[in-house]
Amino acid sequence: MDTEQLTNLTEMYESFFKFNKYEGIEQSNSAVGAKFGSLPVLLSMPHSVVHYRNGNRKEADDYTGAIGLLMNDLTDCYCIYSKKTTEEDPNYVNGGRYKKCLEEVIVKNNILFMIDLHGASSGRTFDIDLGTMNGKSADFKHIEMMKQVFSKYHILDVRENDTFPALHPGTVTSFVSTKLNIPCVQMEIHAKYRTPLENLTQFMKLLDSLKEIVMTLSKESREQ
């Protein structure tokens, strides 16, 4: 897939989430979507559309939905995402539709690792923040591997539990780690890596990094 094809596919995928000012397609039968694959790694994008927390509107994490769908194409990993806005913030409420669907996908398909993708604002000083519940949700080796891969593609300021440690019990990472006992990480991605129309070079660095991370996690998980 060349760069132009990748860019066009990215915009096509993101258009599903952008619809109706990032509230998605209201007529969708389900608020949660999933794509299946062959690798035992799952990418989660709970904030791909606008969501509400305690009655307050919160904007979508732009391009996280498209990034997850692209990774499904590029690696054949699994992914799950929010399709339309509801009263539920999947990364805050206890239980809910999103986590129910997530659990079904993980259990039925023997998923061995999950990455929960989120978007950090342009005001953040890090490139990537890896939330591991202060080391509880993922092994040291997983985090070190991710840092090394990001560094390989010149994404250098990668932190762990700096701003978003995923400690709240309603986070997707907390749910997957504590209830399903599956290693996982909440990955906060700076806005500059999620603007393909303005900065394709940075976007490609992110895609290359995520692709290698997913493939490495799949290989290591199957070898255990």
What b/e readout covers 127-150, taking b as 16+ CB neighbours within 10 angstroms? bbbbbbbeeebbeeebbebbbebb
Q: What's the CA gap between 209 and 114, in Å, rounded?
A: 16
Q: What's the CA gap between 219 and 216, in Å, rounded?
A: 5
Which has more confidence, 63 or 220? 63
Q: What backbone phi and psi angles, to 5 degrees, belong to 185?
A: -150, 145
The pLDDT tens digits for 154-202 are 999 999 999 999 999 999 999 999 999 999 999 999 999 999 999 999 9
Which pairs with CB-CB distance under 8 Å and at least 24 residues apart come from 74-77? 74/1, 74/207, 74/211, 75/37, 75/39, 75/41, 75/211, 75/214, 75/215, 75/218, 76/37, 76/38, 76/39, 77/37, 77/39, 77/41, 77/42, 77/43, 77/214, 77/218
The pLDDT tens digits for 6-42 are 999 999 999 999 999 999 988 888 999 999 999 999 9
* Residue 40: domain span: 3-223
Q: What backbone phi and psi angles, to 5 degrees, belong to 173?
A: -65, -45
Question: Which pLDDT score, from 0 to 100, does residue 224 have?
Answer: 66
Residues 6+ apart with CB under 8 A from 91: 46, 47, 116, 118, 170, 171, 172
Q: What's the CA gap between 114 and 78, in Å, rounded?
A: 9
| CA 92, chain centre distance (Å) | 15
**Mean per-residue pLDDT, 81-92:** 96
Residue 209: pLDDT above 90? Answer: yes
pTM for the model: 0.96
**pLDDT level of residue 220 (50, 70, 90 thresholds):** confident
Which has more confidence, 75 or 3? 75
CATH of residue 93 = 3.40.630.40
Supply the DSSP symbol for 192.
Answer: G
The number of distinct structural domains making up the chain is 1
Report CA Rg, the chain. Answer: 16
